[in-house]
Structure 1
């Protein structure tokens, strides 16, 4: 939690503002490559050799990361505006977020999007296993395909934003969500599902590139850390709600529908929710970026 917030907060001090899209995209692409592609495969190989090896390798990787961060040069602490008072600073962060219409819209759109995304991803496990009849290796490859799409989104997001502009990019990436959720439910096999997830993750990473780069630019340095943390509280705090909602939808649907139909109901509910979010968000983003 502290690391992620600090990384987003310090990035504008490391690169010029006009290169934030490239920096954010590259950073997320490398993280996805390590977390979703290299890490699981390497962990499986090490644990097959000896149980302690993955934990030792993880500790060594963290030690290397600490050394790399310690070597960064620059000033990452804004000038103090007066005596430190966490209550006053928290109120300032709330006030700034409440008074920035586009930033506020991005925060609640991201929160609802994350809720719907978690509904889909937790339901995907049983859908792949029971409805599609696929095993763990196929499921792992499907998730890996999604990671590849996200990595591509991180690398090409800057070009997409330069072509469409931030407003149109944010609107179209959001509009892709509902069709993607519906396509996940309708995908007949592993290959089609993998392609859908790859496209979906691509759009998600491009959305992140737009929204995070925007707030890194428009939030003053002295408020960036606390506003980032409040923004992420809403964006990430909705994720557990999505997990619980997905389970409740499957359970309730199973009382009146066949098991295979109940397992795809979270995708359909998420698609409807994403369609409504896209319609509302399209107007809010149009007004917000139009003003900015």
Structure 2
């Protein structure tokens, strides 16, 4: 299917358009919480560096704890229903934050519990979401579909932080989080209108849960290119989490950058993500579907390294933050669209949930560990040193794909090289 044909087919695909609109709503809402939660923790609840690290850890801990069985369960269940349940759960638990705040009893530990519960629901949503796209979209249109969904995400990131920063000047962070909860409710309503042809897996075809989990992990480990990508992503995520977990402390507490200025910097930087989403397919065609993966991984690491320069030039902290966020957003979107499309393309449909869950277990499972390490490391050697360690490690992670057959590869494979067992 040509790019033009794929684009036309998506505009005529009603279920995909509904999915797209629902995710647009939740993407906009998420930008409210992404800034409001760390501001609430650091500036309102006076959380310590370790508590900030723990907060960041529990947000993704569920991928480590329940990520693998979630994939097997999603393959057994109807994916749209899983997404509906996850949206409703996230809306309910996030609404607890403004309720507790109005009651005058909100503390950092309650915020951590809410983050953990929302993170558990996100595990199921994310695994089902990436496995649901191939249900609605033909294989030839997957790259275009992923590009559109990521473009919307980046549009939200462009305006979201600046709007959130401005709102936080007049509205309490807890109130802003309620807006995110409402966006999940809106996504729930839109998803409930989608009709698809997915059929629940027959009970007779099920095997023991452990065997099904093993099958999904085996597929990931036995595909040579996919294995390299997963290693690069996992190591990169670990070290980038060291940096991003401490970024609110560095910006707000160490460098005394105002919340509004931070929000504007993030919004301007997010323009890079928008451009990455819009031009990812064109860039991949120009330099190669395989080549774009290692080069974007290298660019991502260099962008995170730039954040370590802010304490060295505090008067230029905001411009440096803008440039770093631009480069990180641009490269991570190109990287993600390329590798997600690749794995959706080569994975048999019955394995999609387990494949996605296996990858998320590895690449997101390291993040809660890194969040705790970030808190401990910043306590031991300082916030600035932790940010530098994260940047150096993120840059080094690209070696898994930079020194591989991916570099110079014009087209990625369209089917698995190893048949699933």
TM-score with structure 1 length normalisation?
0.83
Classify the secondary structure of the residue corresponding to 2:257. Answer: coil
On the 8 A contact 1:47/1:54 being kept in 2, the answer is no
Note if 1:218 corresponds to 2:218.
no
Q: Per the alignment, do residues 39 and 287 of structure 1 end up closer, same or farther by CA in structure 2, a change over 3 Å counting?
A: closer
Separation (CA, whole Å) in 1 of partners of 2:301 and 2:167: 37
| CA 1:38–1:196: 2 relative to 1, 3 Å | closer
**Which is bigger in relative contact order (C-alpha 8 A, separation at least 6)?**
1
After superposition, what is the alpha-carbon deviation per residue over 1:130-187, rounded to whole angstroms, capped at 9, x for unaligned?
5534222222222223333222222221221121122110010011133222222124
Residues 218/78 of structure 1: CA separation in 2 closer, same or farther (3 Å cut): farther
Q: Secondary structure at the match of 2:398?
A: helix
Change (3 A) 1:74 1:202: same
Tell me whether 1:229 sits opposite 2:352 in the alignment: no
Shift of 1:100: 1.3
Structure 1: gaps (5+ residues) = 254-261
1:176 aligns with 2:299: yes
Secondary structure at the aligned position of 2:364 is classed as helix
Q: Distance in 2 between matches of 1:279 and 1:52?
A: 42
Is contact 2:238–2:366 with CA below 8 Å preserved after alignment? yes
Question: 1:56 offset after TM fit, Å?
Answer: 6.8
Deviation at 1:81, TM superposition (A): 9.6
Cα offsets for 1:53-82 (capped at 9, x unmatched): 767755554343233223334323476595
For the residue of structure 2 that corresponds to 1:211, the secondary structure is helix
Distance verdict in 2 for CA 1:51–1:281, change over 3 Å: closer
Please give the root-mean-square deviation of Cα atoms over the aligned residues, in Å.
3.2
* 8 Å Cα contact 1:146/1:197 also seen in 2: yes
Aligned partner of 1:10 in structure 2 is 132
Match of 1:126 in 2: 249
Q: For residues 90 and 61 of structure 1, do their structure 2 counterparts lie closer, same or farther at Cα, with a shift above 3 Å needed?
A: same
* Native 8 Å contact 1:47 1:53 kept in 2: no
Q: Distance in 2 between matches of 1:72 and 1:148?
A: 31
- What's the CA shift string for 1:9-39, capped at 9, x where partnerless? 1112222323322211221232344467448
Give the match for residue 268 of structure 1.
388
- SS of structure 1 residue aligned to 2:397: helix
* Partner residue in 1 for 2:263: 140
Query: CA, structure 1 residues 13+123, in 2 after alignment: closer, same or farther (shift >3 Å)?
Result: same
Alignment of 1:52-201 (within 5 A): 58=180, 60-77=182-199, 82-85=204-207, 86-187=209-310, 188=313, 189=316, 190-201=318-329
Q: How many residues align?
A: 284
1:45 Cα deviation after fit = 5.0
Shift of 1:208: 0.5
State the secondary structure of the residue aligned to 2:144: helix
Residue 128 to residue 19, structure 1, CA distance change in 2 (3 Å): same
Counterpart in the other structure of 2:70: none
TM-score between both structures, scaled by the size of structure 2: 0.59
Q: Distance in 2 between matches of 1:267 and 1:16?
A: 42
**Is 2:162–2:264's contact at 8 Å kept on the other side of the alignment?**
no
In the alignment, which residue of structure 1 is the partner of 2:76?
none
For residues 218-255 of structure 1, the C-alpha deviation after alignment (integer angstroms, 9 at most, x for no partner) is 010010111111111111111122222223332222xx
- Contact 1:171 1:285 (8 Å CA) reproduced: no
The aligned residue for residue 30 of structure 1 is 152
